[in-house]
Amino acid sequence: MGSPGSPVALDAVVARPPSPHLGPSAPPPRRSWPGWVAPVLAVLPFAVMLVTLGVQRPPITSYGDRAITALEVRDLMRGRQLLGAYSRFGWHHPGPAFLIPLAAADVALGRAHWALDAGMLAAGAAAAAALVWVVGRAAGWLAAWAAAGTVGLYVHAVGPAVFRDPWNPWATLLPLGLLTVLCGAAGAGSIPALAASVVVASVIIQTHLAAAPVALGLVATAAVMAWWIRRREGSGERAASPWRRPAVLAAIAVGVAVWVPPLIQEATGDDPNLSDLWRFFVDGHPGHSLSTAMGAVGDRLGQLPFGSPTHFMATTTAAGWGHVGGALTTVALYLVAGVAVAVLGHRRGDGFARALGVLTVVAIATAVLAVHTAAGPLQAFVIGWVTAIPIGCWMGVASLLLGPSHGRRPAPGAPRPAPGSRRVPPALAAAAAGALVVAGTAAGTAAAAAAPSAATETAPQVTEAWAQLRSGLAGRAGGSVLLLMDDPGDWPVQAGLALELEEHGWRAHVGDEWVFMLGPARRETGHESLVATLRVSADGHPTVRVTSPLGPQGLRAAAARVAAVLGTGPA
C-alpha cells in the first residue's frame, strides 16, 4: 500500500485550527529534532531489509500467489488491471491500490526479481513513518518516540518477513494502524485527518475485504466524533473552512480516483466484480460461532508485543467457550483499556486519547462481528489484520502519559488543562519514551537483520518446469502458449510458468476456469502457437510437454474442453 502522503503533507493533514478553549493564539505542539527523528527510527527495520535486498539481489523464481501478483503488476502498467487480487471465492478484492507501490518499485529497479519485495518494504516504511508522524503531531514528540518503539515491537512480533512478502493480506497490517491514529486525530476535530482516513480506508478495503468492516467502522466513528466536536464549537465561517484546505481537497480527489478503476470494470467488464461481491455477501455463507470469533480476535490482539511469527502464521481452530478463556481475557482487557483511555482522555481534555479509546472499543466489536461472519478457515491471511488494532490503544495511553497539554485541542465540555502541564514529570516521561523506543527499535531492527534471505522464496518446481518449457520453445519464434495442467492442484506452478513466459517475450494463455486468477488478458483464444501441458509427479517433480495445437496432445485437450462446455464430459 502506498502512503497517503509524505511527512510534510501529513503535517498539514493533522494540523488543527486554534481552539476557543485555549484562545486564538494557542500554538500547536512545538516541533523539534527529536520529533523528526521518531519517523526515521520507525523505518529502521524496513531500511535494514531494503539494504539487504539491494546487496543480495536474490534471484527469486516466483510461484503461486507471488507469481500472480507479478502478473497483476504487469497488467497494471499496461492499463488493464482494474481490480485487486483474486479471492478463493471466485471474485476479486475491489481495486488495484495495493499494486501501485509494487509497480513503482518494479519500474525503478528494472523488473529485478526482488523488486516486488522492495516495493512492499517501501510501502510498509511509508505507513510506519506516517503513523509515527501523525502521533507526533497530535500528542508531541515523546508520544512519537513511543509510537516508533511500538512499530518496532510490532515488526518483531509479527515477523519481518511478512512485511517483505508481496501478498495483499500482509499489506493491510501497518496501514490499519495508520488508519486508527488518523481517525484518532479526526475524532479530536481534524477535518484534514478525516479526509486522509477515507483515502487510507479505501486502500485497505481494496487490498483485502476481510478488514473492510473495521476500516469502515473506524472512519464512521471518527466522522461522528468530528461532527460532534465541530457542532459544539459552532457552525460559523471558521468551522466550515477546513473543507477548503488543499490537503482536504487533495485527499478527496485521491479518494475518488482510487475507486475509478473498479467502477470502470463494473460498467464494462464481462463479469462485473462489484455485483459478484454483492451477491456473495447477500447470499450468506456459514460463518463461525461467537465463541470462536471472540477467541480468534483475542488470540490476535495478544500478538503485540509478546507474540511470535510462528504464532502469527497459525490457523485459529479453537471453538467453544471452554477453549478460548485466555483469548477472552485479552479481549476483555483491551475493551476495559479502551474505555479507560476514552474516559481519562475526556476528563483531561485530551481529544486524541479520547478518540483512540472509543475507536479501540469500536474496532474490537467490529472485528468480532467480521470474524463471526467470515467464510472458511480462520487462517492468518484472513484475520492477521486484527493484530494492528492494539496500536490505537497503545497510542492513546502514550498520549495520556506523554503528551503535553499546551496547544492541545481540549475535548468539548472537558475541564481546561493547565498550560504546559504534562501527564507525568518531564524527566520520567522522557525516560519512559526513550526506553520504549530503544527497546522497540532494537527488537524490530534485530529481527529484520536476522530475517531469512528473500532467496528462500524461490520455487524449485517452477525453475525445473521452466527449464523444460524453455527447451521446448528453443528455435521457435515468439507467440502465445496455452498452459494446461493434468491436476488443478498444480496451479501455483502454472502461475510461475506464465510469469516466466511473459518475462521472456511470450504470451501466456490459460483456459476459462483460470482467467479469474491470471486475468482476462490471458484467456485462451484458440489461436495459440503452442500447447504446454504440466504434470507434477507424486514426488514433486514437474514434467512439461510442448506440442502443437494440432498435435495429439493439443487435440485431446481441445476435445476435453469442448466436452466440458457442452456438458458431455468432465469439467
Transcribe 425-456 into DSSP letters: -HHHHHHHHHHHHHHHHHHHHHHHHTSPPGGG
More confident residue, 147 or 413: 147
pLDDT on residue 247: 79
Judgement on whether residues 253 and 333 belong to the same structural domain of the protein: yes
pLDDT band at 511 (very low <50, low <70, confident <90, very high): very high
**Residue 454 within any structural domain of the chain:** no
DSSP one-letter code for 81: -
Q: How many domains does the chain have?
A: 2
pLDDT on residue 285: 78
Pick the closest to residue 166 from 454, 383, 448 (CA basis).
454
Residue 8 reports pLDDT greater than 80: no
pLDDT on residue 562: 55
Judgement on whether residues 190 and 315 belong to the same structural domain of the protein: yes
Query: Looking at 449, 477, 507, which one is the last position of a domain?
Result: 449
Residue 478 reports pLDDT greater than 70: yes
**Residue 440 within any structural domain of the chain:** yes
CA–CA dist 133, 147 (Å, integer): 9
**Share above pLDDT 70 across residues of the chain, in percent, rounded to a whole number:** 84
**Residue 12 within any structural domain of the chain:** no
pLDDT on residue 407: 36
pLDDT on residue 429: 84
Average pLDDT of the chain is 86
Judgement on whether residues 503 and 533 belong to the same structural domain of the protein: yes
What integer is the mean pLDDT of 304-328?
79
Judgement on whether residues 421 and 465 belong to the same structural domain of the protein: no
Contact 506, 478 (CB under 8 A): yes
Across 16-20, 211-215, 478-482, the highest mean pLDDT is recorded for 211-215
Query: Looking at 449, 477, 495, which one is the last position of a domain?
Result: 449
Pick the closest to residue 544 from 452, 464, 474, 442 (CA basis).
464
Pick the closest to residue 186 from 399, 6, 15, 306 (CA basis).
15
Predicted confidence (pLDDT) per residue in 240-285, tens digit: 567 777 878 888 899 899 999 999 999 998 889 999 999 998 887 7
Judgement on whether residues 187 and 242 belong to the same structural domain of the protein: yes
Give the global pTM. 0.87
pLDDT on residue 418: 45
CA distances to 401, 408, 417 from 404, in Å: 9, 7, 10
Query: Looking at 406, 428, 449, which one is the last position of a domain?
Result: 449
Strand partners, 349: none
Judgement on whether residues 444 and 472 belong to the same structural domain of the protein: no
**Residue 86 within any structural domain of the chain:** yes
Predicted confidence (pLDDT) per residue in 411-470, tens digit: 444 444 444 444 567 788 888 889 999 999 999 999 999 998 888 888 999 999 999 999
Judgement on whether residues 186 and 294 belong to the same structural domain of the protein: yes
**Residue 403 within any structural domain of the chain:** yes
Judgement on whether residues 295 and 416 belong to the same structural domain of the protein: yes
Q: Give the range among 23-27, 123-127, 188-192 with minimum mean pLDDT.
A: 23-27
Judgement on whether residues 152 and 233 belong to the same structural domain of the protein: yes
Q: List the domain range (segments joined by +) for residue 489.
A: 459-566
Judgement on whether residues 197 and 335 belong to the same structural domain of the protein: yes
Residue 96 reports pLDDT greater than 60: yes
Judgement on whether residues 396 and 471 belong to the same structural domain of the protein: no
Q: Which residue has the cell 479469474?
A: 516
Q: Give the range among 148-157, 171-180, 236-245, 392-401 with minimum mean pLDDT.
A: 236-245
Residue 139 reports pLDDT greater than 70: yes
**Residue 265 within any structural domain of the chain:** yes
pLDDT on residue 10: 47
**Residue 278 within any structural domain of the chain:** no
**Residue 501 within any structural domain of the chain:** yes
Predicted confidence (pLDDT) per residue in 213-237, tens digit: 999 999 999 999 999 988 877 644 4
CA distances to 203, 230, 443 from 388, in Å: 16, 29, 17
More confident residue, 28 or 375: 375
Q: Give the range among 157-166, 241-250, 357-366 with minimum mean pLDDT.
A: 241-250
pLDDT on residue 457: 84
CA–CA dist 3, 6 (Å, integer): 7
DSSP reduced 3-state for 286: coil
Judgement on whether residues 136 and 168 belong to the same structural domain of the protein: yes
DSSP one-letter code for 242: G
